[in-house]
Amino acid sequence: MPELGVGVVYSAALEPLLEAHPGLFDLIEVEPQTMWLERPDRPGEILAPPGVEEHLASLPFRKIIHSIGTPVGGSVRGVEAQLPLLRQTVKQLGAPWASEHLAFNLTPDFFTGFFLPPRQTEAGLQVYAQAIERLAAELGVPLAFETGVNYLRPRADEIPDGEFVAELAERTGAGILLDLHNIYANECNGRQSVAEFLSQIPLDRVWEVHLAGGLELDGFWLDAHSGAMPERLFAMAREIVPQLPNLKAIVFEVYASFLPQFGLDGVRREMERLRELWQLRQPRAGRAFHLSSKAGGGLRNLRADGVPVQDWESVLGELAIGRVSATALGQELAADPGIPLMRGLIHEFRASMVVGVYRLSCRLMMLALSPDVFRAILEDFWAHEPPRQYSASEAEAFMAYLRAKNLRLPQLTKIMEFEKAAMDTILEGKPHVVRFAADPFPMLNALAQGRLPDVIPQEGDYEIELTPEGPVKVSGVDLDRALGTYPFH
Amino acid sequence: MPTTVGKSSQTRAHGTVRVTLPAKVAYEPEALKRTIGGILGRLGCPTCFSGLDCHFTNERDFVVDPAGAIAFRSSELNPQPLPPAAEVRVSLAPGVRYNIDSVFKAVDAVIGFIGACPCHSGFDVLYQNEITVIGINNEGVAQQYGGQVGG
């Protein structure tokens, strides 16, 4: 495999930086599922909008693939429809390898909305080894699995984190995507130390390193991808990188929703630090670090299975999305402080998906009802509906819930109709028209500015036609006025 | 304080006003100049989940002013004369706020009380925690200065 260098997980928000400083980046890491869409009325049917992959392919960097929809730390396979698309993306972008998460986000009954930790037992190893081998065969390129963050307390009935990763790498021949921020977070949160973890894994199997920043919440260090690497993590990385003889890439992760605070300059500074790390590599063919054998061997710590893999996934999934489990495992896990943390994080993700799609409708509700009341409505929705993987589906499920509740907030129905039309236009690729009995622009403009309108709208026949592409056209009103009041937000 | 919302001063527009826009602009201010990538970030599958998405918090902060007020009345900031409009401010009892049926019942009670019609701006109605003009008690009943006005 080629040595690619340093890069960043791609998001459209980073494009200005990629354009301004192309020399800082050797590669971009693409999460293909973030480039796809799902129509809410056709769950499981994945759409790949035309032109997106072509655009990515045209960027002057090497690409590697980081899948987020087919995790290999679970017993339930991801949506089958995505596999041909995933394979096609790998091929079209010329990725020399791909990676996936050693975690699960599906149960037989629902999507969890979050990567949850695998069952670290012998039975788990068998299930996940099969998942890794199957996915590698389907993608047709070498596969690495990512070391995950785990907010649960260590368990007496599980194989220690490092030994589990080592054993899985040994059984499958797969590479390791060493997410240093994840194991740093695990150490901060009371799991295995970074040093112990690294002493147990075969360092020569690490093909790729992930680095990121995090933040503290409720006594936990979160893998939030929220900004700069902690200094202690960077210092650790300086010591670790020279010990990774087969390292092919170092990738920085930053979540787009934190970019307004962190800034593209912040990303640029982190990329310069990644370049410094890259210079520390000491490639030495044939060198192998498998310190777990010096510590006594991974199999030493294989535990009696106890809780089956499927039970683990069902119970942990139920608790994480806010349900109650009356099982013994459920009662035990419910006492783990990581459960309410993950539940809260899932809720934030779900709320973020809804406000991302129905932004103006949500602003209207927050302004008119107060954020607390809007939150109470969301919480009732979360209690009744499991998460969806795609934002459009999650948002539409919330709006269906609201329609059933018949919330009689003035103008809310029309704003929802407008935003649904915008979503449907994108998803269906054909125009939609929304008709109003009064001028909608004062309301749209006010909401775009984060306030309620201060004028009473003029009655009349108004139409907004939303088209997949094309120029702005106006009839019956001054063009400048229409453009000046359109909800840029 | 008025008990009904004033009739809007409307002059019906002649003919239909039609505005045609590419839908992506609804999601991405710069979408006219850029690829669909930003829209996918809104509609598609969010990136890998093991931390925190602050998008909702950003949105909430956007509509809440630094002093914690829910919203401001633009009339207080705008020196221009505004059309006459009634204003109702509503306070929700904590017990109502966290009981979803009471929340919906309270919203209905207030909307019914002020006489919502499709033509007024509607946002003469301003629910605000700090200002008690109409109060929604723990039973979801709307009250005005101690007198029941809806429920």
Q: Which residues of B touch A437 (CB under 8 A)?
A: 118-119
Asked if B48 reaches chain A (Cβ–Cβ under 8 Å), the answer is: yes
Q: Give tens-digit pLDDT for A347-382.
A: 999 998 999 889 889 988 888 777 877 888 999 999
pLDDT for res A257:
83
Q: Is A13 close to B38, i.e. CB distance below 8 A? A: yes
In sequence order, which ranges of A93-218 are alpha helices (DSSP H)? 122-139, 161-172, 180-188, 194-200
Q: Is B118 in contact with A427 (Cβ distance < 8 A)?
A: no
* pLDDT, tens digit (0-9, with 9 covering 90-100), for A28-65: 999 999 889 888 999 888 888 888 889 999 999 999 99
% pLDDT > 90, chain A: 68
Whether the per-residue pLDDT at A130 is higher than 90: the answer is: yes
- Residue among B48, B98, B119 whose CB faces A376 most closely: B98
A134: CB partners within 8 A, 6+ apart: none
Picking from B7, B47, B134 by the largest number of A CB atoms within 10 A of its own CB, the best residue to mutate is B47
Q: Chain B 81-140, CB below 8 Å of chain A: which residues?
A: 82-83, 85, 92, 97-100, 103-104, 107-108, 111, 116, 118-123, 125-129
Predicted TM-score (pTM) of this structure: 0.82
Q: What is the C-alpha end-to-end distance of chain A, expressed in Å?
A: 44
Element (H, E) at A313: helix A309-320
pLDDT of residue A473: 72
pLDDT score recorded for residue A405:
86
Higher pLDDT, A199 or B80: A199
Nearest to A349 among B22, B35, B49 (CB): B49
Asked if pLDDT for residue A17 goes beyond 80, the answer is yes
CA neighbor of A85 nearest in space, from A98, A104, A101: A98
Is pLDDT of A239 > 80?
yes
Q: What is the mean pLDDT of residues A70-78?
A: 93
Nearest chain A CA: its distance from B150 CA (Å): 15
SS3 content of chain B, % helix, strand, coil (to 5): 30, 15, 55
Chosen from A225, A370, A459 to mutate, greatest number of chain B CBs within 10 A: A370
How does pLDDT run across A284-330, given as a tens digit for each residue? 744 444 433 334 444 444 555 689 999 999 999 999 999 999 999 99
Chain A interface includes B78 (CB < 8 A): yes
Query: Residue B25 in contact with residue A486, Cβ under 8 Å?
Result: yes
Given a cut of 50, whether residue B133 has pLDDT beyond it is no
Which candidate, B41, B6, B99, B31, places its Cα nearest to that of A353? Answer: B41
> Pick from A394, A395, A462, A392: which is nearest to A426 by CA?
A392
Q: What is residue B106's predicted lDDT score, i.e. its pLDDT?
A: 65
What average pLDDT does the structure give for chain B?
51
Distance CA A130, CA A123 (A): 11
The answer to whether B80 contacts chain A (CB < 8 Å) is no
B146: left (phi over 0), alpha (psi -120 to 50) or beta: left
Q: How confident is the model at residue B80 (pLDDT cuts 50, 70, 90)?
A: very low
pLDDT at A408: 76
Cβ of B122 and A371 within 8 Å? no
